[in-house]
Homo-oligomer: A and B are copies of this chain.
Amino acid sequence: MIKKGLVYIYTGDGKGKTTAAVGQIIRALGHNLKICYISFHKDPKKWGYGELDILRKLGVDIFCFAKEHPHFCKGISFKGLRNECKKALDFIEKEIFKKDYDLLVLDEINIALRDGYIKENKLLDLLNSKPKSLSLILTGRGMIDKIIEKADLVSEIKKIKHPFDRGLKGRRGIEF
Q: Which residues of A contact B (CB under 8 A)?
A: 2, 6, 8-10, 12, 14-31, 33, 49-55, 58, 102-103, 135, 148, 151-163, 168, 171-174, 176
What distance in Å separates the Cβ of A137 from its nearest Cβ neighbour in chain B?
A: 9
Copies, count = 2
For the complex, what is the distance from the CA of A25 to the CA of B162, rounded to whole Å?
18
What distance in Å separates the Cβ of A110 from its nearest Cβ neighbour in chain B?
A: 13
**Cβ–Cβ contact B30 & A173, under 8 A:** yes
Contact of A152 among B26, B27, B161 (CB under 8 A): B161
Known contacts A6-B174, A29-B50, A156-B157, then 4 further A-B pairs from the complex at CB < 8 Å, ordered by chain A residue: A28-B50, A30-B54, A30-B173, A155-B160
**Cβ–Cβ contact B14 & A156, under 8 A:** yes
What residues of chain B lie closer than 8 Å to A8, measured between beta carbons?
15, 174
A135, A156, A176 pick with most chain B CB within 10 angstroms: A156
What residues of chain B lie closer than 8 Å to A26, measured between beta carbons?
19, 22-23, 26, 50-51, 54-55
**Cβ–Cβ contact A51 & B33, under 8 A:** no
What residues of chain B lie closer than 8 Å to A155, measured between beta carbons?
14-16, 157-160
Closest to A152 in B: B163
